[in-house]
Amino acid sequence: MEKDQLEKLFNSKVDRRGSNCEKYDFYHESYSVEQGDYLPLWVADMDFPSPPCVVDALKERLDHPVLGYSGTSESYFQSIINWYEKRYNVQINKNWIINIPSMIQALNVLIHTFSNPCDKVVIMPPVYPAFASVVEDTGRELLLNELMHTPTGYIINFNNLEEHFKNGAKILIFCNPQNPTGRVFTEDELMKLSKLCTRYDVLVISDEAHADIVYEGHQHIPLFSISPESLHQTITLTSPGKTFNLSGLGCGNVIIGDEKLKETFLQTANRIHLNQGNIFGLLALEVAYTKADQWHQYLLEYLSENIKLLTKLLKDNLPKAHMHKPEGTYLAWICFKEYGLSHHQLEEFIFKKTRVLLSSGKFFGSCGDQFMRINLATPRSNIHEAITRISSTLC
């Protein structure tokens, strides 16, 4: 596609209402409001059309009238291997890749497989809320290693993390690029993390769902590739869902470079038939990784401009609201503390009065008090409208 065609595609407002879209059709259940002229910028999927090459491939597959069970082809595995080499300069083995229908389902299975009830599992708030719920729902003890909020951004509290490891933590659930703060952790940070986990024999489950949405000046490094030891201490969860707006197709992968860990996981996964592929998800992943480079590159350019726009709009219209520029993801984490509202008041004001639906910071942990997460994977006109609505009444 030509650049002007891509620009038109990304700027177009696709009406998602009536498509059983969680963001637009079911927000009233999450926010306890009636359907109305709300602007939903909460669920972490995109308002952009998925890559046309993927949509066309799915349409072509539907011309075949039989939609039975589907296997995982050699070309599927090769598309992932090529993607890792091209994007991260990392070589992976086909045998490390296990297809899964859902990263959160896989996380649940991993917790069951590699820990026992009452074992200690560490997460790093503010972080994706499902991490805490999976740990608690499986009967494990949840330990919080809160990221430290500094004037230049969020950093890992390694001293506190080591204390948790000394006290017997078995698993760390790690998120990189980080949701919701937008951090992309550096090589030095990842190396320090890897050494700690190796020293205390802590298994890392690394959620790298946003790995391909990283901005200029930053580089995503798969944690398993940071050192030979990390390869044997890390299980990676990945998916094309965030990158190519394919989350509804239920397709992801677990990458396990350690043979013993892989076989242990497969015993559980096979017992519950976790790795039965979705015929459309498998196809979409392969096409996206092999044919959607141009779409992906334009996505990064468009999102970069959206970040610049939000930065300017906050400075000009909401000067007491602050955010650190995201290094990755299409999410921005905004602090409203200087407005002097309690978190409940902030929610009431933004959700009910301005009718802009952001993700409440408290969903990501208590350290999200007076924060909101905004989804920037939307046409620029929606970002303009959201800040206009909020700033028109928030003084």
The pLDDT mean for the chain works out to 96
From-to residues of CATH 3.40.640.10 in the chain:
59-291
pLDDT tens string 109-124: 999 999 999 999 999 9
Q: In terms of pLDDT, which residue wins out, 30 or 280?
A: 280
The dihedral built from the CA positions of residue 298, 304, 307 and 308, taken in this order, carries a sign that is negative
* Radius of gyration over every alpha carbon of the chain, rounded to an integer in angstroms: 21
From-to residues of CATH 3.90.1150.10 in the chain:
3-50+293-391
Cis before 117? omega within 30: no
Question: What region does 48 belong to: left with phi over 0, alpha with psi -120 to 50, or beta?
Answer: beta
pLDDT at 1: 80
DSSP collapsed to 3 states, 287-334: HHHHHCHHHHHHHHHHHHHHHHHHHHHHHHHCCCCEECCCCECCEEEE
pLDDT tens string 289-321: 999 999 999 999 999 999 999 999 999 999 999
> What totals of helices (H) and strands (E) does the chain contain, helices first?
16, 15
Q: What are phi and psi of 120, to 5 degrees?
A: -95, 130
Decide if pLDDT at 234 tops 80.
Answer: yes
Q: What is the DSSP letter of 225?
A: G
Domain 59-291: which CATH class? alpha beta
Output the CA torsion 169→100→240→146 (10° steps): -10
Decide if pLDDT at 191 tops 90.
Answer: yes
Its pTM surpasses 0.85: yes
Decide if pLDDT at 2 tops 90.
Answer: no
Q: What is the mean pLDDT of residues 128-141?
A: 97
pLDDT tens string 309-358: 999 999 999 999 999 999 999 999 999 999 999 999 999 999 999 999 99
Q: Could you tell me whether strands 141-144 and 120-123 are parallel, antiparallel, or unpaired per DSSP bridges?
A: parallel
CATH of domain 3-50+293-391: 3.90.1150.10
